[in-house]
Amino acid sequence: MNRRRILYALIFLMVAFWSGNYIVGKIALREFPPVLVAGLRIGFAGLMILPFGLRERFAGGSAGATPGAASTVRLVLLGVFGVTLNQVFFIVGLSRTSVAHAAILIGLTPIQVLVLACLRGQERITAQRAVGMAIALAGVALLKAFEPEAAAGATWLGDLFTFLAGTFFAIFTVLGKEVAKLYSAVTVNAHAYVGGAVALAPVTLWEISRHSLAHISAGAWMAVLYMALFSSVIAYLIYYYALMHVSASRVSAFSYLQPVFATAMGAALLREHVGAPVIAGGLVILSGVYLVERG
């Protein structure tokens, strides 16, 4: 029982880190261009986790197997699609939408996970889950139909990018579940972030050459470091550890807490407008996601 309590306490901590990610992301975007934020975040995260990944590979510290050449390629590709693209699309989307919209749309991730898990034969769609999916989609329609973009600080393109970020994270969740029994959390995340950092390095260096970093404030740098350490390395280690003990859809269902935390922080710290359509649409979406998770 204590072990399960610790597991869910860690998951709650992970959700808190990810909720704060929306706020610090907005702070970083005040001074950095979106793609550079993503590149620096992934690059710093790769540097942070690299020593631990090397220790697991060469010092015999891994709780799972040591991946061979083919498995290494698979883990890197999983990282590029599930981590790098997720974070690039998230930052670009966040730069074009509000914290509330981004958090609510990321809250749809459990449904995307369920659909992919069903396609992979990991889970099945019940009648209750199907109803929950329909309710959540109706909530999205409500959110977009009645909230003026100017009032919300959101755009259709920003919301689309945010939705795609959730899609790539769903891919990481479902495919990551399939290798959770073979490799440790450190091994998977080290390959994901180091591989992603290398893949994104040309773009990151090109962005650095186009923008002077000399006048970037300490606050903006701290925001990027928060995103790398807490929202990336620590949160993803917790997430992958949880996948080893809980079903993919159940772990991802905790993301329905993010809209509540992130929207409240966005309103309190960034003074973002939260209108009735956002509240109503968010409640409908989260109700649908809850039915999916309980089904």
Domain extents in the chain = 2-294
> Mean of the pLDDT values across residues 24-40?
95
Residues 146-160 pLDDT 10s:
655 544 567 888 889
Lowest mean pLDDT among 97-106, 167-176, 248-257: 248-257
Residue 24 pLDDT exceeds 90: yes
- Of the pLDDT bands very low, low, confident and very high (cuts 50, 70, 90), residue 293 is low
Enter the tokens of residue 55. 């220790």
Instruction: Supply the DSSP string of 98-137, one letter for each residue.
Output: -HHHHHHHHTTHHHHHHHHHHHTTS----HHHHHHHHHHH
The sign of the torsion formed by the CA atoms of 52, 56, 62, 67 equals positive
More confident residue, 236 or 43: 43
* pLDDT at residue 221 greater than cutoff 90: yes
User: What average pLDDT does the chain have?
Assistant: 81
pLDDT, average across residues 51-64: 70
Query: pLDDT at position 201, please?
Result: 93
156-179 vs 99-106: helix crossing angle, rounded to 10 = 40
pLDDT at 236 (0 to 100)? 82
Alpha carbon distance 17, 275 (integer Å): 25
Most confident of the ranges 19-33, 58-72, 79-93: 19-33
